[in-house]
Amino acid sequence: MDKATSSWRYFDFWLLGAVAVLSIFGIAMIRSAIAGNIELAEHDTRQLYFVVLGFIVLLVTAAIDYHLWSALSKPLYIGMMALLAILSIVGAAIFGSARWFETSIINIQPSELAKIVMILGLADFFTRHLDQIHQMKWIFRSFIYTLGIAVWIFLQPNLSTTLVILVIWFGLLWASGLEIKHLLMLFGAGLIAPVVSYPFLQLYQKQRILNFLFPDPNARHGEIYNIQQALISIGSGGWFGKGYDHGSQVQLRFLKVRHSDFIFAAMAEEFGFIGTLVVMLLLLFVVYRCLRAARLARDTFGALICYGVAILIAFQAMVNIGVNLKVIPATGLPLPFISYGGSAMLSLLLGIGLVESVIIRHKTLEF
């Protein structure tokens, strides 16, 4: 048995299985959420195509030595920055704003892939400057490096994905050995940042924050309505739910954006607390396997890739669920592996492929 073949015995089938279960369940939930809606017809089929393509990407990525991405991180970073800049400038000039490249077959959202490009770029940056990360100037340089992509996403405008990019930066910075004094400084800056950035937000983004802080109980439209319907859906599900394809809020279309932003609420109505708990535990298990891969990685670059993917999945899951539970203001972040979105699915499965590439190349096997 040659070395390349034998390394596949370290492949994390537990991680693959958990992701597969979540992805298949996501297709089923999308099917239920769009039932009878002509405008959303075929969305479940499209998601299936993206899942199949995504798992092919996962296996191909796992087969590629992850060290190759270290050499390609700079070209990928520059290419992604240029792509986002073109999308923002052209989109602003023609449509007023743009997040997608529209084709006759599919719409591509580069900002989703940008999350993975940032994980690779920052993992390479921090690995190269690991001995200097305790210096404030290198922390600042890593922040400027992150802004090179984040600022173009912010201008789309896409605040939620911008926050994801910044969280990935902070998480990888912390994993690289951030000192306590610098951690406290950045924490203080993080508390001030929302106040400073508020004047630069779009009107609808400001409105979401105001609606969260000062909700109008009599509102019957917009974000407040969506949140109210989400809470009704979650509450009506009880312990075990109303059954698949039998959620009244979902099937009667009171719950809006139920196949993407509020799919957690749709899931809670049909499968109840127990069903949502199982899904959350599966997501937590995926995050755990990514963290395990980081611990077993043979080098810092591999470990930071795994940490980055774990942070991406965990943060998006917490934000999406938090929005559905009215814990935080409304955002457009999907529930990983469950919500509808081809670009999001492909980027997540690409990330899992990178984690698998790291784990099958670690030195020792752990059961």
Say which residue the tokens 């940490």 belong to.
307
- What pLDDT does 94 receive? 42
- What pLDDT does 104 receive? 52
Answer whether residue 293 shows pLDDT above 50: yes
Three-state SS at 298: coil
Q: How far is it, in rounded angstroms, from Cα 153 to Cα 332? A: 13
Query: How many other C-beta atoms lie within 10 A of the C-beta of residue 39?
Result: 6
Answer whether residue 157 shows pLDDT above 70: yes
Answer whether residue 112 shows pLDDT above 50: yes
- What pLDDT does 222 receive? 59
Mean pLDDT of 254-277: 88
Between 255-259, 311-315, 332-336, the lowest mean confidence (pLDDT) is in: 255-259
pLDDT tier at 213, thresholds 50, 70, 90? low
CB 324 within 8 A of CB 339: no
- What pLDDT does 20 receive? 97
Between 33-42, 71-80, 206-215, the lowest mean confidence (pLDDT) is in: 206-215
Could you tell me what percent of the chain has a pLDDT over 70? 86
- What pLDDT does 105 receive? 58
CB 303 within 8 A of CB 330: no
CB 178 within 8 A of CB 111: no
Answer whether residue 364 shows pLDDT above 60: no
Answer whether residue 123 shows pLDDT above 90: yes
pTM: 0.89
Three-state SS at 34: coil
Mean pLDDT of 354-366: 79
Mean pLDDT of 7-13: 83
157 upstream amide cis, omega within 30 of 0: yes
Answer whether residue 366 shows pLDDT above 50: no
CB 345 within 8 A of CB 47: yes
pLDDT tier at 95, thresholds 50, 70, 90? very low
**Listed ranges 57-61, 126-130, 233-237; the one with the highest mean pLDDT:** 57-61
Tell me the two tokens of residue 192.
Answer: 């001030």
- What pLDDT does 187 receive? 78
Answer whether residue 5 shows pLDDT above 80: no
CB 306 within 8 A of CB 358: yes
CB 342 within 8 A of CB 259: no
More confident residue, 11 or 100: 11
pLDDT averaged over the chain? 85
pLDDT tier at 365, thresholds 50, 70, 90? very low
More confident residue, 74 or 102: 74
In the chain, at which residue ranges do the beta strands (DSSP E only) sit? 101-102, 107-108
Q: What's the Cα-to-Cα distance from 228 to each of 84, 239, 249, 322, 339, rounded to whole Å?
A: 35, 20, 11, 14, 19
Q: How far is it, in rounded angstroms, from Cα 42 to Cα 35? A: 10
Mean pLDDT of 72-81: 94
List, for residues 23-70, the tens digit of each pLDDT value: 999 999 998 888 767 677 788 889 999 999 999 999 999 999 999 999
- What pLDDT does 88 receive? 77
**Listed ranges 185-199, 263-277, 322-336; the one with the highest mean pLDDT:** 263-277
Hey, which residues does 108 pair with through a beta bridge? 101
Tell me the two tokens of residue 22.
Answer: 């979540």
Answer whether residue 204 shows pLDDT above 90: no
Phi, psi of 5 (to 5 degrees): -70, -40
Sorted by sequence, the CB contacts under 8 Å of residue 278 that are 6+ apart come out as 271
pLDDT tier at 209, thresholds 50, 70, 90? confident
